[in-house]
Every structure is written in structure tokens, then in C-alpha cells.
A and B are shown apart, each in its own frame.
Chain A
Amino acid sequence: MTTLADTLRALPDEALAALFRLRPDLVVPVPTDLSALAVRAQSRVSVARALDGLDEFTLRILDAARLTRDEDHGETSTESILTLSAGAARRVDRAAVRSAVDRLRALFLLYGPTESLHVVPGVDEVCSPYPAGLGRPAAELDPETAALVADPAKLRRTLLAAPPPARAILDRLAAGPPVGTLPATAAPGEGAAAPVSWLVDNRLLVPVTEPSGLAGKPTAVELPREIGLLLRRESGPLGPLRPTPPPVAGAAREPKAADSAGAGQAMEAVRHTEALLEQLAAEPAPVLRSGGLGVRDLRRLARGGGLDESTTALLLEVAYAAGLVGEVDLPGTVTARNGADQQMLPAAGYEGWRDGSLAHRWEHLARAWLTMTRQVGLVGQRDDRDRPITVLSAEAERAGVPAVRRAVLDVLADLEPGTAPGPDEVVDLLAWRAPRRSLGRDTGQREVLAEAALLGVTGLGALTTYGRLLLAQWTAGDTRIGETGDDPLGVRPDADGAAGGGSAAVRALDALLPAPVDHFLVQADLTVVVPGPPEPTVAAELATVAEHESAGGASVYRVTGASVRRALDVGYAAEDLHSLFARRSRTPVPQGLTYLIDDVARKHGGLRVGSAGAYLRSDDEALLAEVLADRRLAPMSLRRLAPTVLTTPHLVGRLLTALREAGYAPVSEDASGATVLNRPKVRRAAARGSVANRVTDPLATPRLSTPRLLGIVEQIRRGDAAARAARRAPSTVRGAGRPGGAGPGMPTAHAHSQALAVLQQAVRDKALVWVGYVDAHGATASRLVRPVSIGGGYLRAEDERTEMLHTFALHRITAAVLDE
């Protein structure tokens, strides 16, 4: 019997190269020799990787190879595989089986000559223990069942005698997997367990113990292989085989209609993204401590954009992946909320993106979507710890998502333009193409289809022309690696488009999108309609002078008194507004609008607000005129507001002084107009005691009160104790921690138990003890303490010096000596 290493060794160079091409992971890193290569090729990881890329049919053929191995050498042959897979009915195309075997051999999952094929051992470890959904042979399971199986006539009779519910269970197990779990509670012979009991009693099913179950008590039943094969008479021993991929029919759409719907959606996606980012710019959202944006912020953004939450989440994620949104540290540390020291804001690349054409902006988003490793569908669900997964948080990160996207879009791209397959068809096809990869991913695949529709990559369910081009660019090779290399910040979103009007996808989309318009229609009800996507200047002007009402293919604005006032506030004059409307409007400007602008402009600025440090008022206008003309008061920068009122930026006190110095007689008044009397304020230092109050007899001894004396005594005693404690600890304690220094001739273990005895005695005697210990940093130290208690592995003791209760871990104590 040849080993895989021998087989590989015998291969010509080209064949080895071909293997490496099929399984590139074998040469990363380059194996030292062919034995190492063979080991790696049989390893679980590498085999699993090779299996992942195989379609359903090839995997079934591999199962057939596993089933047909003979027991002695583990060998099989193409012929026996063919026989098994064709089954009695011989419906399966032999050529298809042969080519599947050839694929497996090319991958060296099967090796050896056709008449003695070996299955690489790793396959059994990676694959299900039940090849092709068949159970173990009866002989391995139960002797009585084996006996039954050995008697075909009896077996058939028993099967035919099975009551319908039992037969249903058999059929389900025969379709695979062949193991069914027993209901945990049901007693045998009752309810759902009854048919199973019948089957077990008749030896058609064998109770087995699940690997996870408790030993001894069978928790599951297994259908023996032979019975399974018998039940599969109709469909063949391997079950229903699909040598060719399941057809994807799908509804046929007019490709133009699909393109148009997709382009409309693409426009929406770009517009909504911009609206969301504008909202973020106006009111930045705090970043949660666990990353991402809170549910409430998401809801707010969704409401503001008129979107549902899942769409909002998708657009935010895409914008983030496209580098249009980023976190920024909050200036300063004072925050009202805990941990919210970062905010989500439009990033530096946003301005550049916003100024690009619609198609460019869309491409930027769509590319980010294709490559981002985020599964947005998870947002709003709960994670393993039952916490909600928030948008932009780390929990929604899934490295495999781009591959899923690619697989799904490839299915669409392979179809005729305008074909809109149903999600079920796509999922089914993907499950056939790579069952191991698609397992449990169907939700993700459906999400990809939904997201593609939302972003306008597909229209009416079919891949759009520009979507197809975008996909082609993506798959044509990662040409952008080089380009993005010199633009790491992504500040030039349309870097590759600047040269020649954009990529093919951008050009295709551009042709579908409306051209920006630089004019609008003004109507008598003061609405302004921009009949198409507005040019940035028009949009900016209208955003100032009118309220936005409706968006989409066109934009509708309404001019109101408030909006005109806002325009006047930012520096437009009435004349500017008239000329703006006259210049931009394709229709005559209605008289009502002209009147409105003039009317608001007339009132605008009718009230003036300013700040002043102080005012000066007098009923005597001549006196105020005199003050105003007084050169000595020029530094006060007085300004006349009215014949009877002057103001100054300086404060009241300064103005009063200046006026008085100039010989006027002002008085100050308070907010209600009442005169404020202003007496000169006398300044004084803080109060201090007088010597005169002191005890007059300089000879009298100072008298000390009893509590004070007791306090002094206490203080001295304490000082004494401290001084004694400061003495050096006995040498036994000091040296105990050092290796080899454990007392004169005393082993460490003995020293430790002696120390414990000393400490226990000290607790009883309330005596002072020198304790030597190793601290958390490994340094030895000693301390004079009065032990209080020992328990739970800890010594609690009072340090008289610091009057603190210390806790020492007993295992750290190296020595204890009573203080003499």
C-alpha cells in the first residue's frame, strides 16, 4: 500500500504545481520536503479548506468513496463508486461521476490508481460521521439487528409491518441524518415515543448514546446502514443526486426597466446617505463604550431621514466602511454621560465625496459595501450574551461576508441580463455550489440580495448593467490595492475617476441618472420646484432661502417668511433675493413672492440688539449733547442711541468716575430705574484679636486641662511605640525570606509552621509579633504587628504605629517572632 507521500513523490513537477494551484494553502509556508507536504495535505485544516470549495455532487461522490472502502485496506475504486452512486436504477450519468472522482483525485482527497483509491484520512475527521446520511453498519451497532439485516425476507416483512407513524420516522431517518434524538421526558410507549419504541423493539432502530449524553442511558436512535439503503431503493443509495446545479429561472425583466429602477434606487441611496451624514454633522451621535451607536441614536437618525432602522443601519455601515464617517474624541473630558468620550461625525473624506457626481458617489458607496466585512443584518438582533447588537459595533463584524456577497452576486451575474431570480433559487444554487460554505449562511445570502436591492446594485431583482460592470471591476483583480496604497485616508474618493470620467460602471450609471439642473420653477403658492437633481450651488442657495419639502428625482422647497428672514440674516439683501429668483427661475416670479421678500426685508432689522457696559440717560437733551461733545470723555466711546440715551462699552463704575472727574453730577440707577446711593466703601483687613484681651500676668504658669494632659500622654506613648517599631526587626525575621537564610539550620517548611504557631499564640495573648513576609512584588519586609485573627488563609493584624488593620496572606509569611 502506497502512502500519500509516496504518491506525491512519484508525481511529475507539473502535476505537483497543478495541485498547488488548486490548494495554495499547501505551500504557505513552503513545506520542507514532500513528507511534510503529504502531512499537511492530510491535515484537517487543509482538507477542510479543499472540501469547502466543492459542490454538493462532488461531496456526495466523496461520500460514496468513503462508503465503498473495503474494511481491510481502506481501498476503493472508481468502479465501486460508480456502482454505488448509480444505484439500482442507474440513472446517474457515469461521466459526471467520473469527472467528480477526477476532481477529487486532482485535489488529492482521493489518491492512488483508479482501481485502488484511498481516501485521505483527514476527510473522515472533517466530514460527518455518517457519509451520505447513512448510519453505521448493523454489525457495528447491535448483533440482533445484524441478524435481522442478514435475513432480507424477514427484514422486508418487518418493514412492511411498520405502522404509518413508525414508517414516517424511518423515512425521515433514511433521508439522513440517520440519528434521531429521543424525547427526554416521554416514557417509552407513550405519545411520540410509541412508534420509536415499536421500531426499537423490532430491531429496525438501534438505541445509541450521543457523545454529549450521559453515559449508559441511550438518548438517540440510529438507523443501521443496511436498512437505510433498503429504504432508499427509490432514490438510489446516495439519496437524490444532483449532478448539475439546480436551475435558476427567475422572472425575466426588461433590462432597461431593471436598470432604471436600480438607478432610481442608487440615487435614493446616495441621497439618503448624504441626509444621514448631514444629520450626524448637525447633531453628532455619541459612540457607546462598547463601540457603535446606540439604539436611540439610530432611531433618531432613521426618523430624521424618513427611513426604517435597518436601511439606516445599512447606509451608516456603508458610509463608515467608505470612510465617510468617523469617530472623533470629544474636546475636553467633561461629559454628561459615562464613557461617551467619542462622537460619530462625517469624516474628512465626506466633503470630497459630496462634491462628486451622483454616479461617483454611488460607486464609492457600492465598492465599500462589496468589500466591507460587516453583516448589517445582525444589527438589532441579540448577541450570545443577549445584548442588542448595535450599528457600527464590533459584534456585527463578520470576516466571511464579502465572500458571501461575491458568491450571491456571481449567481446574478451569471444569468441573462434582466433575470430576477427569487431568493430561494439563489440560496438553493449556492447550497449546491458549496454546501459546506453555505451551511447556515442562507440568512446572510438573503440579506445580501436585500442590501443589493436597497443600494441599487440590483433593480427589480435583476443585476443592473452598471452593477455588473462594478462586479467585473471588483473581480477583475484587486487593482485598487495599488491605488488605495497612496490614498490611505480615502480623501480622494473618486481618485480613479478623475482621469477619464470614471470607471465603466460610473459611466454606465451616469447615463441613466438625470443631469443636474441649475434652474427652478417658482409658483404662486410659493413653492419652488427644482425639476431634477440640483447643482450644488442651487441646492446651497435654496437651502438658505427656502424650506425643503420633498426630495427625490426633483426637490420641492417652499419660501416662507421665516426662510426669507433666515436668508436676510446670513447676509442676503432683498435685492439679492429678487435677482436670485429672477436669475434661476424659468417661470415668472409671482407677485406674492416679490411682495413677501420686500415685506420681510422691510421689517428685518426693525429691532436692534446690542450689548453695552453702561448707559447714560437724561431728560435734558442739551446736557447729553454736551457730554457727547466733551473731549475729556472721548475715551469712554459714548454713542448716542436716542436723544436722551447714550451708551458706552465701559462699565458703570468707570463711567461714573469719568463723568465726576469731568465735573458732571451723575447718579447710578439699578435695573428698575431706582437711584442707587453710592457711599464710599471703607476697606478693612480681616478681623484679628487684640493683645489687650490676653492674660495679663506674664509669670503665671500655663494651665493645662485634664483632657489635654491625657492627650499629651497618649501621644507620647504612641511616639514611643513607633520609635520601638522603627527598631530593626530580629534577624530571624529579616533573614527568613532569603533563600538559604531560613534560621540557623531550620528548613523553610518547618520555619513556616513554627511561625504559624507563634502567630496563633500571639492572637491568644494579644502580643506584639515581628512578622516577616514577602510582598506582592517579591520583596521581603518585616513589620511589628498585634495579630487579631487568623482564618481563611489570612492573618489580620493591627499595626500599632499606623493604627491600621493589615491583612497578610499566610503563605507569604516567612517568619514570626514574639517581640521581646
Chain B
Amino acid sequence: MSGGPLIVQSDKTLLLEVDHPDALACRMAIAPFAELERSPEHVHTYRLTPLGLWNARAAGHDAEGVVDALLRYSRYPVPHALLVDVAETMDRYGRLQLVAHPTHGLVLRALDRLVLIEVAKSKKLAGMLGAKLDDDTVIVHPSERGRLKQALLKLGWPAEDLAGYVDGEAHPIELATEGTDGRPGWELRSYQREAVQSFWAGGSGVVVLPCGAGKTLVGAAAMAEAKATTLILVTNTVAGRQWKRELIARTSLTEEEIGEYSGERKEIRPVTIATYQVLTARRGGAFTHLDLFGARDWGLVIYDEVHLLPAPIFRFTADLQARRRLGLTATLVREDGREGDVFSLIGPKRYDAPWKDIEAQGWIAPADCTEVRVTLTEAERMAYAVAEPEERYRVAATARTKLPVVKALVERHSADQVLVIGGYIDQLHELGETLDAPIVQGSTTNKERERLFDAFRAGEISTLVISKVGNFSIDLPEAAVAIQVSGTFGSRQEEAQRLGRVLRPKADRRQAHFYTVVSRDTIDTEYAAHRQRFLAEQGYAYTIVDADDVLGPSLPSVD
């Protein structure tokens, strides 16, 4: 018995014991083909999926290497059947190839004729394949490239895409590492560099990094690598402006080269930042802004917060297969379960790092997660007990009993910048009154939002109450404490995003705090447990305390 750090399970999960001396080497060996699923403190779980194995094949790893890595690091004998399965799965990749034919354009070429015959018969491919050139080659219309790849993946015969990418319209972009406007010099962090490299080597794909770990810089570095016109898709206007600020500061791009394509402005420049919202806006049932995709010969398309990519954009993306695509996200957990579409249309996961590792390297602030359970008053319990099922979460989440607890927490961290995050507007207004703090919500204008955020960054406001709009892409580096009072039911990625608000490293390496206030013995507790799952799997251990511990000796006084 080798006594290695890895245990291979028969359901194709791999358990990696983190404290083992060989754990690091083992992780390097299995990372190319196994998906990191959970990374709690002691044992990380990876999973072998067909997709992961095919991506490994695409990246040049062969079945021998995979089997060898499993055998070398496995503590226990690896079942023969699993090894056979790995080899067979990997063998399916690349029997079909998408190549650029000198005269006929894009063609699907088979190295195994029977596979081509099998897939050509499939109903799923109906209409995607054109005329047969010979027994092994079929013409494919370039517009079907994405859909065909997606369909072949579903059939279990993934095609190797050798047709390459268009370079797009060249545009000089450099990283400005010397520092401009009096800023100090800087350089890419090691994991950012690795992420860009593996993205560039793979051509297209998704980079998964925790909030606050500098995903924008990965995007900027990818643009510097591409040196071509770039389309950046972001969730909202504020996030777009942050991108713009960051790009001006960190690259050679100037204000004039970067356009904003949003509800307010419609600029198309060498680098254009567009919101998902404006792209999916419809007038008379037609998407009116789709021309943007063809407005320039884009060399790179960047999807920020790719886990939020709306369904229509998926469809447009299928047509963009010849362009390089970079997806950025902190949590590839889609509540709609469409992770597979992200992988097949934007590209496979190219880089992923456990949050705790990056925290250990000091790139994100260490965070302390606490769940505070408040006991509802008799009246509130009664109201909850008789609430309609669809109203129960709202009743439990917006209990007034939470207010004094939130107040106590804010007072405890009076020296820090505190964000109070909630999902229900009424509750936010109550909180705003109780805490005497400004509120940012959906109806707040962009201008007002920017003003409040700037004031918060500058420290003029120490407490800010924000609604769901604050879930994503707002850069508030000095926020050190987040208090969550209610959310979108059991959304795991929302929880992760909210934690991300406080993970930007602080100037003095302070500890960040993340509180979530829930009502005991209600559906609120259950949703909280579900929401915490992703972070718990990333190694964030929640401490659960009672409201009385927060409030101190005196009991909450509720009217």
C-alpha cells in the first residue's frame, strides 16, 4: 500500500487528504482532469467527469497519464472497472475533429468512420451537418459550430476543435505595471498569471476565482495577451464603470478607447463594455442590440459573472465560437443547473483555486462567518405559524426581532465599514431608520449609487444598507463587515457573492466578518443551511451563536 493522499471512490469522486505531505503534488497531478467539488478543511473532494476528462485530453493529457496519477497517489487499490472507464471515456474524445478545410471552410472530419455514421444518424444533429465531402468528412456551416459542439458533447463524442480562432481587429493593449498617476508599480499575482496562461493555452474557457481575488485583472491581462478589440459583458452599469476605471488604471488603454454600451450610453469603441440587461432588452419581441456582437471584429469576448449569464446570451454565444471567450466567476454554481452550457459554449473551466488557498496567500481577507439565530417573539411565531406557505420565508426573514441584533452587531463593529444586506425593501427601510444609514436599492439612480459608494469608500459613511443590487460587482474594498438579514431563498451563489463583498484585502490585513441573521426554528434556518453549503465546502466554517450572545446580558426589547 502506497499510503498516498488520495482515496478513489467508486462513484468517481476523489478524496484528497489536505494534511498529507504529498497533497500538493497530488493536487497538481489531478487538477488537469478532475473537477474540484468541495474544499473543506481536511479532505477536498474532486470529481472525475467525462467533461473533465475530455478537457484534459484537449489540453494534451492522455489516459495513461491519468491512470498513472490515480495509481501513484492512491492510498488504496483502485478498482479495475474505474480505470477502464477512464480510459474508455478519454478515448471518445477527438474521434471527430472540427477543422478548417482549405476550400470548403469548416468541416467535421472523422478519424473513426463509424462514429461519424452514428452521430450523423442522430436526431439531435439534424440540420447541423451539410454535404458529405467523402466518407470521413462533412461540411459544417460556421454558424453551427457552437451548437454542433454542444450536441456532440451531449452525444458523448466530443469533437476536437482544431479550426482555430479569428484574431479579430488588432488593437494595442499593454498592462501598465509601472503604475500611472502616482500609483505604485504592481504585477500580476501568481495565480492570476497562471489563470491567464491556462486560459490562453486553451483558447476559451472559464476562470473561477473568489470575489476580491482580482478577476478584473485576469480580464485585463487576457486583453493584453490578445491585443485585439474586446467586448466585455457585465451585469450592470456600475460594474461596467468599475471595469472601465480599473482598465484605465491598469492598462495602456485610455478613456477614449473604452466605450460604454448601456441603457444610458451607446458607445462602440475598441474596447466596449456592455451590460447583460441592454443586450437582452427587447422591443417588439426582437432583441434590438444584438448588432453589437457584429459591430466590430472582436478578438476577445469577456463575460463577467458568467454564472449569471442570461439564457438569450447563451444563444448568441453559440454563434461566436470562432472568437476567443473568457468567462469570469467566483462561483460556478448556477441555481438553474446550466453549468454544462457554460462549459460547452464559453469553454471549460480553465482555472480554479480553493478560496482558502488564496486566503492563505494573503490575496483575500480572512473571513469569519457567523450565523446568529434569533428567537422570534411569541407574536412573531404565531404570525409565522399561520402564514401562507409562499409567505413563510418573508415572514421569518423580515422578523422585527432581527433589528436589535443587527444594531448590536453594527455597534460592535463601530470602527469598521459595515454593509447590511437584505432582500426585502420594507425591511431595508426599517434597518435604514434603525441604523440611521443610507439605502441603495434597485430604484436608486446610478448617479446616486456612485455617490453613496464613493462616500462609503472614502469612509464618510460607515454603514450602508444595500439590497440585492449589491450582490455583484461592486468594489467596496474597505467594507470589512457584512450583515445579511435576508436573501433570495436558498441561493448558494448569492451567499458567496455577499461574502465576497468583504473579502477584498484590507489595508491593515484586518479580519473580515460575515454575519447572517436568521430566525430560529423557521424555514429561514433551513435556507440559511442551504445557502452556506457552497462556502462550507470552500472551507468557511460557520460559527452559530444565539442572539443573546450578541446582545449581551439584556434581552432584546421588542415592541
Contacts and interface: CB of A to CB of B under 8 A. Distances in A.
Interface of A: 257, 259-265, 267-268, 271, 306, 453-454, 456, 458-460, 512-514, 521, 523-527, 529, 531-532, 550-554, 556, 587, 590-592, 595, 603
B541 A524 contact: yes
B410 to A, nearest CB: 24
Contact of A524 (B41, B74, B81, B83): B41
Interface stretch (B212-220, B301-309, B428-436, B532-540): B532-540
A264 B7 contact: no
A264 B80 contact: yes
Contacts of A265: 77, 79-81
Given A264-B79, A595-B544, A524 B40 contact: yes
Contact of A525 (B10, B13, B38): B38
B536 A526 contact: yes
22 contacts: A259-B77, A260-B77, A261-B83, A264-B82, A456-B80, A460-B83, A512-B77, A523-B40, A524-B41, A525-B537, A527-B43, A531-B75, A550-B13, A552-B11, A553-B15, A554-B15, A556-B13, A590-B541, A591-B541, A591-B542, A591-B544, A592-B536
B9 A550 contact: yes
A521 B43 contact: yes
B460 interface: no
A524 B76 contact: no
Given A514-B76, A525-B536, 13 more contacts: A262-B77, A267-B77, A268-B81, A453-B80, A459-B80, A524-B540, A527-B43, A531-B7, A531-B75, A551-B9, A553-B9, A554-B9, A556-B45
Contact of B544 (A261, A453, A460, A592): A592
B536 A264 contact: no
Contacts of B542: 524, 591-592
Contact of B42 (A458, A523, A532, A552): A523
Contacts of A456: 79-80
Interface string B7-47: 11111010101000000000000000000001011110100
Given A592-B542, A592-B543, A523 B41 contact: yes
B356 to A, nearest CB: 11
A524 B536 contact: yes
A529 B15 contact: yes
A587 B41 CA distance: 10
A271 B9 CA distance: 12
Contacts of A526: 536
Contacts of B10: 268, 271, 306, 551-552
- Nearest 5 CB-CB pairings of A with B: A552-B9, A264-B77, A524-B541, A525-B536, A553-B76
Contacts of B13: 550, 552, 556
B371 to A, nearest CB: 8
A603 B525 CA distance: 14
Given A260-B71, A521-B42, A591-B544, A554 B80 contact: no
A553 B536 CA distance: 24
Nearest to B11: A550
A597 to B, nearest CB: 11
Contacts of A525: 38, 40, 533, 536-537
Contact of B7 (A454, A553, A603): A553
Nearest to A528: B43
B78 interface: yes
A529 B80 contact: no
Interface string B52-83: 00000000000000000001001111111111
Contacts, number: 127
B522 to A, nearest CB: 12
Contacts of A512: 1, 77
Contacts of B42: 521, 523, 529, 587
Nearest to B542: A592
Nearest to A261: B80
Interface residues of B, number: 36
B183 to A, nearest CB: 38
B521 interface: yes
Contacts of A529: 15, 42-43
B550 to A, nearest CB: 15
B409 to A, nearest CB: 18
Interface of B: 1, 7-11, 13, 15, 17, 38, 40-43, 45, 71, 74-83, 521, 533, 536-537, 539-544
A750 to B, nearest CB: 81
A264 B78 contact: yes
Contacts of A259: 77
Contact of A261 (B11, B78, B543): B78
A387 B402 CA distance: 68
Q: Is the interface of A mostly helix, strand, loop or mixed?
A: mixed
Given A524-B536, A553-B8, A532 B544 contact: no
A526 B40 CA distance: 9
A527 B43 CA distance: 9
Nearest to B82: A264
B17 to A, nearest CB: 7
Nearest to B43: A529
A590 B42 CA distance: 12
Nearest to A606: B521
A514 B74 CA distance: 11
A591 B543 contact: yes
- Of A267, A526, A553, the most chain B CB neighbours within 10 A belong to A553
A527 B77 CA distance: 23
Nearest to A603: B521
A573 to B, nearest CB: 20
B15 A556 contact: yes
Nearest to B526: A561
Contact of B79 (A268, A458, A513, A521): A268
A6 B533 CA distance: 91
A513 B77 contact: yes
Nearest to A259: B77
Contact of B40 (A454, A527, A603): A527
A202 B74 CA distance: 71
A550 B15 CA distance: 10
B71 A257 contact: yes
Contacts of B11: 306, 550-552
Contacts of B540: 524
Nearest to B17: A531
B7 to A, nearest CB: 4
A263 B539 CA distance: 33
A10 B9 CA distance: 70
Contacts of B82: 264
B538 to A, nearest CB: 9
A101 to B, nearest CB: 45
B80 A523 contact: no
Nearest to B10: A552
A454 B45 CA distance: 26
A553 B75 contact: yes
Contacts of A521: 42-43
Contacts of A262: 77, 80
A605 B481 CA distance: 38
A262 B78 CA distance: 8
Contacts of A267: 76-77, 79
Given A591-B544, A592-B542, A514 B533 contact: no
A553 B43 CA distance: 14
Contacts of B41: 523-524, 587
A552 B7 contact: yes
A592 B542 CA distance: 6
Nearest to B71: A257
A268 B12 CA distance: 13
A521 B19 CA distance: 12
A521 to B, nearest CB: 5
A261 B76 contact: no
Contacts of A524: 40-41, 536, 539-542
A260 B78 contact: yes
A531 to B, nearest CB: 6
Nearest to B76: A553
B34 to A, nearest CB: 14
A633 B514 CA distance: 62
